[in-house]
Chain A
């Protein structure tokens, strides 16, 4: 008898949860983000399902927990900052922007699920996902809804361009550089500025970002006549790079390209100096915050390219002040800045669609937003934006140099 009671209770609970979710998907307003709950209570729920009467919903998707949480939080904060600024200024066309923020843990499955849920909740545009794999999975899904999507940080070339079918994903844009671009830029920089004749590469095998940058760098080096004397790989999670670095040292290259993430880069530079390598280290935007992971003396003179230089212009200074004020002392990084820009591009496009008098959330509206993004003239922290034929931003890279343990703006390149 007790057992039957138990089973009955479990079933009731299960069906209750299912039913609750079924209706929750279409009707209730989510309270996932601070701003949503703030004006969500005031926003008329009477407008019901398709709704968006007084609000325009935008999704922000990224890893808020897990390995890549640092990037996800930076992106969601950056985008939220601009959206709040617009809301404080009266919104778009009198309508408030409401954000739906979900965590994907950097996992493609979670990301697709969260995105489907956002679609159910009636978003008109998406900022995110943050990391490349989830973005690729979501892009596939977003195509079927023709959902405007702008990512602030997914650098894989395939995000906007499907090489299998040779088609551009027309609804997908980004405000960051793609992997090959960074590799090419750094090879060019090594040739033009550092006057390097020989180069070595140390990269993480099996990492999309690392391999993507390495391949582009090596190809460009060959084109420019720089001799790539050594290519060394290491595996994810490795802490000891002595054997690879000893190999590199024996070839004594002018520059060492290390297209990895900051933690590894820090260890690599430290161990390289111990192994006796004097060459200049170069990296991609994964080097952001590297200064906390190696000593100033070891890092001195290293360069990396980035999409963002702290404190370099008045706009960026204003952004940084606003960011620090809003998020209690946190300092923004490149990801926050690119997310802020992504929000600018998306909201400008939504403004254009609003001006046409279309109904928020409708297919025409989404098409108008995509159209407006394609021909965007928005001005963000990274300068004036425009997209090339593959929906990648056309902008110059920022070269950052490490001096006295600080990451300082060196030049635009």
Chain B
């Protein structure tokens, strides 16, 4: 990468990250098995995982690409329905080890197709216009899910009655493996040439275009990826809750996800992860306070936006090499070198 870079070599960094993640998985699952973490807390942790995927995937379009799509819940809904219908159909014939990854993939792919269809016209627009058109598409998806049965003539989404008895396949392990994969893929892409192109579009679209970057291509790519991961999150949600109902995927759900991204800091993955965690867990921890809990939730948003308008983390991103770079250098070169690698 950078010439003269003296930080931790890349494979080691990836190994450390992966190791930390495996430790996290093992600790939480064994605590759950030992009933230290109750079913209730386990459920909240799963929900946190799903919301992290949603926030991180929206962050790709909002924070890194610099667009403001308001239809994220629509992609989540499409993914959720697609995978739920698939899982209901195959749960008895295919083993879970096969059907679950397939279900997640189908959820993601169908959402990605919708993302592509919507992205092509929508991404020609900028700012407010893009927000409005994606909002419109999000609502269209919801209305289609609600009414498609009477058009096609057989029961597919079960409309307002809700899609029921979806196999409850989502577990803590699936959720967090997905969280890890999503974060890893987004991170890896951002560090690649494609990611730099995406970031340059955020900074200045005209300058990026004059440098020869195919802005339409990269905008669509980021948008479709964002939709894909939202679809995966939707699939996980379907297997978590067991019943889907289009009204749950309305405009407010999109805003809820956007709030997570903005609160965490647009363009900061660790910010999205932290704020998704806090905003999911907080209302649950505050249950004792009854009706006041939503006041606390709203107050938190107001206070953060007043005192830190860029969000909790700004554009800061967690970097293992920055954290461990100095100790590593001392370890390898006997403390001679002074300059730590930046990234």
Task: List residues of A whose CB falls within 8 A of some B CB.
Answer: 10, 14, 17-18, 21-22, 25-26, 30-32, 64-65, 102-103, 107-110, 112-114, 116-117, 119-120, 133, 136-137, 140-141, 156, 158, 162, 164-165, 205-208, 211-212
Contact = CB atoms under 8 A, between A and B. Distances in A.
Q: Is the interface of B mostly helix, strand, loop or mixed?
A: helix
A119 B160 contact: no
A311 to B, nearest CB: 31
Contacts of A158: 161, 164
Given A22-B37, A32-B287, A117-B284, 4 more contacts: A25-B40, A107-B248, A113-B40, A113-B44
B147 interface: yes
B98 interface: no
Given A113-B47, A206-B147, A156 B161 contact: yes
B36 interface: yes
Interface residues on B, range: 35 or more
Nearest to B250: A236
B340 to A, nearest CB: 15
Contacts, number: 100
B37 A109 contact: no
Contacts of A114: 287
- Of the listed residues A110, A119, A137, the one surrounded by the most CB atoms of chain B closer than 10 A to its CB is A137
B128 interface: no
B208 interface: no
Contacts of A113: 40, 43-44, 47, 284
Contacts of A205: 146-147, 160
Of B40, B43, B47, B162, the most chain A CB neighbours within 10 A belong to B40
27 contacts: A14-B277, A21-B41, A21-B284, A21-B285, A22-B36, A22-B37, A22-B41, A32-B287, A64-B291, A102-B287, A103-B290, A107-B248, A109-B47, A109-B241, A113-B40, A113-B44, A114-B287, A117-B287, A119-B39, A133-B243, A133-B247, A140-B243, A141-B242, A162-B165, A206-B143, A206-B160, A206-B247
Interface in B234-250: 241-243, 245-248
B168 interface: yes
A140 to B, nearest CB: 5
Contacts of B40: 25, 113, 116-117, 119-120
Interface in B17-50: 36-41, 43-44, 47
Interface string B246-279: 1110000000000000000000000000100100
Contacts of A137: 241-243
Contacts of A156: 161
Interface in B122-149: 143, 146-147
B103 interface: no
Where chain A touches its partner, the secondary structure class is: helix
Contacts of B243: 108, 133, 136-137, 140
A156 to B, nearest CB: 7
Contacts of B120: none
A164 B36 CA distance: 36
B190 interface: no
Contacts of B37: 22
A300 B44 CA distance: 51
A99 B161 CA distance: 31
B327 to A, nearest CB: 14
A328 to B, nearest CB: 17
Contacts of B159: 206, 211
B255 to A, nearest CB: 14
A32 B288 CA distance: 5
Contacts of B44: 113
Contacts of B247: 133, 206
A133 B291 contact: no
Contact of A206 (B41, B146, B284): B146
A405 to B, nearest CB: 32
B294 interface: yes
Given A22-B36, A112-B241, A206-B159, A64 B290 contact: yes
Contacts of A14: 277
Counting chain B CB atoms within 10 Å of each CB, the highest count among A30, A162, A207 belongs to A207
